[in-house]
Amino acid sequence: MDQISRFFILIYLAVFITVLGSSLIYNACFPTFHNLCEGIVSLVWSCFTILFLAVIDEIFNAKYRQRNRIGQFQEFEFDSLCYFIAIALSGTILRVTFIFKGFSDTILLRFCWIFYLISVCSRIAIHVVGVKIGRFDLQHHKKLIIASTVFHVAITLATLRTTLIDAEDITRILEILWSQLGLGIISGVSTTEFLVVLTGGFRSLESDLRELNTERIDSDPIIECNICLVEFSPSRMPRILKKCGHTICESCADILLRQRYNLGIACPMCQTVTEHYESSSELPKNHAVLEFVEGIKTE
């Protein structure tokens, strides 16, 4: 995404949040503007949906094919930060909007459906591109995950308590429940992902391979993986690609498996694709290689 595209999207988001916030203020303070406020919010949300889906289709499918791996990772990291914060803010605004009684249930439910559509389409696009570029490292970000979860659970409980008090029938109660729970889950997950990416929790696959290379011991390995050049061992289990018979380590097999959406592994030596729908640990072990390496070490 070039600087001009980023500028226009940021301007649009600023206008969107300003108009929505202004409409909420007018609706709360001046009931006579009720219809005008609902019309403005509906129009803004419709335009936001169209623009957002168009940006997703253009950005996450075209631009990454024209960049090297380092450029891809940096661009994807920035775009994912913008996406996660936009989804988190939009979901939170919608949740708070339920507190205002002036908005009709039909309008609010329409907003929820549009928001869910945006979330599903955008996450599919992000997954398609992101799985080829990097992965989330959640092991060292557990405190962030817990804090984000507690925060959004508190908001959900507070909003439900405020809105359910004045609910008149079971239909209204059910609408509030599923809307708030759905918005809470999406906003909570997006907030967590934003914080994880912001604190360096999204790692490129290239850096994973570089780390694997640093694990090499000082002495010359006897038999090593042809991808990461790390010696085979019980902790670096040799796995056989059933289609072509070549052997790679389990860590490299896991990376290659994610690059094909956990549907198969393309052999880096001969490019033959082995269909595999389970984890890399389910691939056959090369016991002959492992026994040979262990035998050399015991001599």
Each residue of 246-288: pLDDT tens digit? 888 888 888 888 877 777 888 877 878 888 878 888 888 888 8
Question: How many Å apart are CA 272 and CA 196, to the nearest integer?
Answer: 35
- Domains of the chain, residue spans: 3-202, 215-298
Among residues 24, 185, 44, the alpha carbon closest in space to that of 98 is found at 24
Q: Is the Cβ–Cβ distance between 166 and 226 less than 8 Å? A: no
pLDDT on residue 190? 83
- In sequence order, what are the residues at sequence separation of 6 or more whose Cβ sits closer than 8 angstroms to the Cβ of residue 121? 53, 56
For residue range 3-57, what is the model confidence (pLDDT) as tens digits? 445 555 555 565 556 555 555 555 555 554 555 555 565 566 666 666 666 655 5
Fold for the domain defined by 215-298? Herpes Virus-1 (3.30.40)
Q: Cα dihedral sign for 175, 176, 180, 181?
A: negative
pLDDT band for 290, please (50, 70, 90 cuts).
Answer: confident
Among residues 246, 281, 294, 292, the alpha carbon closest in space to that of 266 is found at 246
pLDDT on residue 217? 45
- In sequence order, what are the residues at sequence separation of 6 or more whose Cβ sits closer than 8 angstroms to the Cβ of residue 245? none
| Mean of pLDDT values over 70-74 | 64
**Long-range contacts from 282-288, C-beta under 8 angstroms, 24+ separation:** 283/239, 283/240, 283/241, 283/242, 283/250, 283/253, 284/239, 284/240, 284/242, 285/237, 285/238, 285/239, 285/240, 286/232, 286/238, 286/239, 286/240, 286/247
Q: Tokens at residue 253, please? A: 């097999």
For residue range 188-239, what is the model confidence (pLDDT) as tens digits? 888 888 887 887 777 766 655 555 555 444 444 457 787 887 778 878 888 8
| Mean of pLDDT values over 109-129 | 73
pLDDT on residue 117? 74
